[in-house]
Chains A and B, each alone.
Chain A
Amino acid sequence: MSVLHCADLSTATLQKLLSAKLAQAPAFFLQAPIVLNLSDVSQTPDFAALKNLFTELKLVLVGVTAANAEQKAAAHGAGLAVLQAGKASVKSQTTASTPQPAESIAATDPNSAKAANNTVTTQVAVPMDSKVVEQTVRSGQQIYAKGTDLIVKGAVGAGAEVIADGNIHIYGSLRGKAIAGASGDTSKRIYCYNLQAELVSIAGNYWLSDSLQDKFWGKSACIKMQDDSLVISELV
């Protein structure tokens, strides 16, 4: 889940910062659940107003974390969940020093002295490490790579599903379903070493195995979107 850190929680500032952030990748954060980290905030913000702001921006404010007692009570009153700042948040903070896992956006005014205070950090950033599955994906298993590419080293069995918001690479046979660009990105592709899929889909456009039977069945293939329809080509 995305966690938002911000020292200044007045609606005006937050709106400006979040709008700028969202403009970078509108589909990526669409209706994304957001948790507000209050560790840098001492006073109790107006949660009801914040909730409205998030709804306007097509985000879903689900809860707060690192809250003090007063903030917790107010959050409860506004119908928000109070979450423990667990290991996960500590871990993602440590990864913030690696090349680009988290992005920091300074306040819109570049020469502002207050910039340091008004930093919005979202821990889910656009460039992320791909999700790698080392073994075969068996029938009945479902793998979802949220916001990133999916790489499967083994095969994807019949009745298994692999889903990614990014591209999908399968280095074995694809016998199950593969769904790339699951959040609507039509530029994503599916690559597989041996195409025997039940279904392939990119951004909601799909082909069933019936339409795959002829030319590329049992061959290596790359599936992409071109002029609003799926196109398959052999890998060289």
Chain B
Amino acid sequence: MAKIIVVTSGKGGVGKTTSSAAIGTGLALAGHKTVIVDFDIGLRNLDLIMGCERRVVYDFVNVINGEANLKQTLIKDKRTDNLFILPASQTRDKDALTKEGVEKVLNELAKEFDFIICDSPAGIESGAMMALYFADEAVVVTNPEVSSVRDSDRILGMLSSKSRRAEQGLEGIKEHLLLTRYNPERVEKGEMLSVEDVKEILAIELVGVIPESQAVLNASNSGQPVILDKDSDAGQAYLDTIKRLLGEQVPFRFLNVEKKGFIKRIFGG
């Protein structure tokens, strides 16, 4: 049975699509057949981050409306085996998604895939609700900053009240906190919330901390998920995150300011 994971946040621009691409790719690298579904109808971005924008023929809305079948629509990733992308429609809006339509497509995907990653749009309106409604697990992407934390808190409330699992009284969605754009230096200066602060406010289990990194922007611009950049700190942090998602115990890295060199330590620089 496929596991449906929604990547959500409430707030925009915190790294949902970057994280969806990285998590989807990471799961596929670990040998699981994975599909990433872009729920951001009208603001299609996932195809760019995944570098498959030139291969989009049909989209999610076409499949829902029966204008194309899944086989025609799914885009196979060229770099990673076991990885597929279901792109969003750019010409429609969020109202094109219906609960019945989404359920039908997800059920069909569930027959073939181990993991279905739902890349949620920002906000708490119908589009975001559709993305989280059928989820089994949720990765809540949060920046260490007060407005993002509050919006994540709001989304956590939605996950526990508006999802299918909540409505049918099933076991609740498993919630994971993914802290992105973490900058230990600024935390030390008191300019940014620390991991502990965010954990204390949101009170959910931490699955990963992604350091603020030039590698993320480079990866987005080149259409290559950052997790493939294995030398970068962000790439390694995502690899750790995947292991934790799959149940492994991995110590957290990149939480502290890198140790200064010998000379700098002596002169206090």
User: Whose C-beta in chain B lies nearest to the C-beta of A172?
Assistant: B203
Nearest chain A CB to B150's CB is how many angstroms away? Answer: 5
Nearest chain B CB to A44's CB is how many angstroms away? Answer: 41
Tell yes or no: A158 within 8 A of B by CB.
yes
Tell yes or no: A154 within 8 A of B by CB.
yes
Tell yes or no: A229 within 8 A of B by CB.
no
Nearest chain B CB to A155's CB is how many angstroms away? Answer: 6
Tell yes or no: B154 within 8 A of A by CB.
yes
Nearest chain A CB to B127's CB is how many angstroms away? Answer: 17
Tell yes or no: A175 within 8 A of B by CB.
yes
Nearest chain B CB to A144's CB is how many angstroms away? Answer: 15
Please state if B157 and A139 are interface contacts (CB–CB under 8 Å).
Answer: yes
Please state if A139 and B203 are interface contacts (CB–CB under 8 Å).
Answer: no
Taken residue by residue from 150 to 179, chain A's Cβ proximity to chain B (1 for < 8 Å, 0 otherwise) reads as: 000011011110000000000011010000
Interface centre among A137, A139, A172 (most CB of B within 10 A): A139
Please state if A159 and B203 are interface contacts (CB–CB under 8 Å).
Answer: no
Tell yes or no: A209 within 8 A of B by CB.
no
Interface residue range, chain A: 10 to 19
Tell yes or no: A86 within 8 A of B by CB.
no
Tell yes or no: B213 within 8 A of A by CB.
no
Q: Which of B118-169 contact A (CB under 8 A)?
A: 124, 150-151, 153-154, 156-158, 160-161
- Residues in A neighbouring B124, C-beta threshold 8 A: 140
A115 to B156, CA, bound (A): 54
B203 interface neighbour in A140, A141, A154, A160, Cβ under 8 Å: A154
A135 to B160, CA, bound (A): 10
Please state if B161 and A141 are interface contacts (CB–CB under 8 Å).
Answer: yes
Nearest chain A CB to B38's CB is how many angstroms away? Answer: 26
A58 to B160, CA, bound (A): 39
- Residues in A neighbouring B246, C-beta threshold 8 A: none
- Residues in B neighbouring A139, C-beta threshold 8 A: 150-151, 153-154, 157
Please state if B161 and A159 are interface contacts (CB–CB under 8 Å).
Answer: no
Interface residue range, chain B: 10 to 19
A154 to B157, CA, bound (A): 13
Taken residue by residue from 206 to 233, chain A's Cβ proximity to chain B (1 for < 8 Å, 0 otherwise) reads as: 0000000000000000000000000000
Q: Which of B200-226 contact A (CB under 8 A)?
A: 200-201, 203
A135 to B151, CA, bound (A): 18
Please state if B201 and A140 are interface contacts (CB–CB under 8 Å).
Answer: no
Interface centre among A138, A157, A159 (most CB of B within 10 A): A138
A136 to B203, CA, bound (A): 8
- From known contacts A136-B203, A175-B201, infer whether A159 and B160 are also in contact, taking CB-CB under 8 Å: no
A63 to B156, CA, bound (A): 38
- Residues in A neighbouring B161, C-beta threshold 8 A: 141
Please state if B201 and A138 are interface contacts (CB–CB under 8 Å).
Answer: no
- From known contacts A138-B153, A138-B154, A139-B154, infer whether A157 and B201 are also in contact, taking CB-CB under 8 Å: yes
Taken residue by residue from 100 to 144, chain A's Cβ proximity to chain B (1 for < 8 Å, 0 otherwise) reads as: 000000000000000000000000000000000001111111000
- Residues in B neighbouring A135, C-beta threshold 8 A: 160
A160 to B160, CA, bound (A): 14
A140 to B162, CA, bound (A): 13
User: Whose C-beta in chain B lies nearest to the C-beta of A175?
Assistant: B201
- From known contacts A155-B203, A175-B201, infer whether A140 and B154 are also in contact, taking CB-CB under 8 Å: yes
16 contacts between A and B (CB under 8 A): A135-B160, A138-B156, A138-B160, A139-B151, A139-B157, A141-B157, A141-B161, A155-B201, A155-B203, A158-B150, A158-B153, A159-B150, A159-B154, A160-B153, A172-B203, A173-B201
Residues of B within 8 A of A (CB): 124, 150-151, 153-154, 156-158, 160-161, 200-201, 203
Residues of A within 8 A of B (CB): 135-141, 154-155, 157-160, 172-173, 175
The 3 closest A-B pairs by CB, nearest first: A138-B157, A139-B153, A139-B154
